[in-house]
Structure 1
Amino acid sequence: MLATLMRTNLGGKFVEYMRSPRGKAIDKFLVRKFGFSLLMQVFSARVGFPPIPVLLLYSIGHKSGEERAAVMPYLDFENRLYLIAANGAKPRQAAWVDNILANPDVRIVLGRREKLMRARLVDPGAAEREHLWAFAATKTPQYNTYQSRMTRPAPVVALEPRT
């Protein structure tokens, strides 16, 4: 039923609202308090793929120095968390990638629990990335769709516990 509704004009308007600053603020609240992303649910229903679990990523803005938060789908692969920064196949990489390149120490909220992590950009030619990508494609084909529309490899970020 949700998938049918999301493919209507009204569903499109709702997705548009959830992608607005106010909708994103609501989504961050839901992820922080309940571990649930309404935006991921409606977007997944709209494109016809199963939803991927999400976490809340806190990084330090590379220009502002202020803490920034982003709801991110993640993959748990071989006991490590990964983020794929496809940025909806846009030509520019997501701002949070620039943030973690400048300061890899991040904080996440996963399942309502906070964890201190270190972000590491996975080399585009590394076997680690190839194995993860094959796994990601089994979870949602959307990643392959994004990559086919991009002129650059989608950045892949590994999150590892801070020591």
Structure 2
Amino acid sequence: MKFASTPAGSRFIRALVPWDRRVMAATNGKYTLFGPTSLPGMLLTTTGRRSGQPRRSALSFLRDGDRLLVLGSNFGQERHPAWSSNLLANPDALAAIGGEEVPVTATLLTGDDRERGLQRFCEYPMYRAYVTRTSRELRIFALSRR
């Protein structure tokens, strides 16, 4: 989706994310506003690192064998997304995909494993653009079923 890789497209999609989160929550991750034109989506529930409260985020993911990869791009902004910091503090989470909620454990990818994951995400123009917009190293997590 080329539009998503533009600054205007990123702003537009960011504005839709709260609505998408509601659709995904109502359908337990089965439906998303972004439909089949983008990567598959999930609703990831983490534990807030400060509040201890459940926090839901609508995310795209890639399958990697029996793991799911998620990238903390935050649309190329300079700050890491809160969900990624939550996973660093507590790696146990819930992933709702296709109407099913699955308990997962997150592992921060490093080294060659991270590079392979980043290359896979960068096959999509929006992620290539996000990487160039920020000086921070984008966090990539592998989510494994508990």
TM-score range, shorter chain: 0.7 to 0.9
Residue pairs, 1:8-157, within 5 angstroms: 18-19=16-17, 21=18, 23-32=19-28, 35-38=30-33, 40-41=34-35, 50-123=37-110, 126-138=111-123, 140-157=124-141
Indicate the structure (1 or 2) with the bigger Cα radius of gyration: 1
The alpha carbon displacement at 1:94 in A equals 0.4
Unaligned runs of 5+ in 2: 4-8
Unaligned runs of 5+ in 1: 5-10, 45-49
The Cα offsets for residues 29-84 of structure 1, whole Å up to 9 and x where unpaired, read as 35516x1210x34xx9xxxxx41100110111011111111111000023320000
| C-alpha distance in structure 2 between counterparts of 1:37 and 1:159, whole Å | 20
What root-mean-square deviation, in Å, do the aligned CA atoms of Structure 1 and Structure 2 show?
A: 2.7
Identical-residue share of aligned pairs (%): 28
| C-alpha distance in structure 1 between counterparts of 2:73 and 2:106, whole Å | 16
Report runs of 4+ in structure 1 exceeding 6 Å deviation: none
Using structure 1 for the length normalisation, give the TM-score. 0.75
Q: Report the CA distance shift for 1:89/1:31 in structure 2 as closer, same or farther (over 3 A).
A: farther
Q: Is the 8 A contact 1:31 1:55 kept in 2?
A: no
Q: Is the 8 A contact 1:59 1:68 kept in 2?
A: yes
Using structure 2 for the length normalisation, give the TM-score. 0.83
Q: Is the 8 A contact 1:31 1:71 kept in 2?
A: no
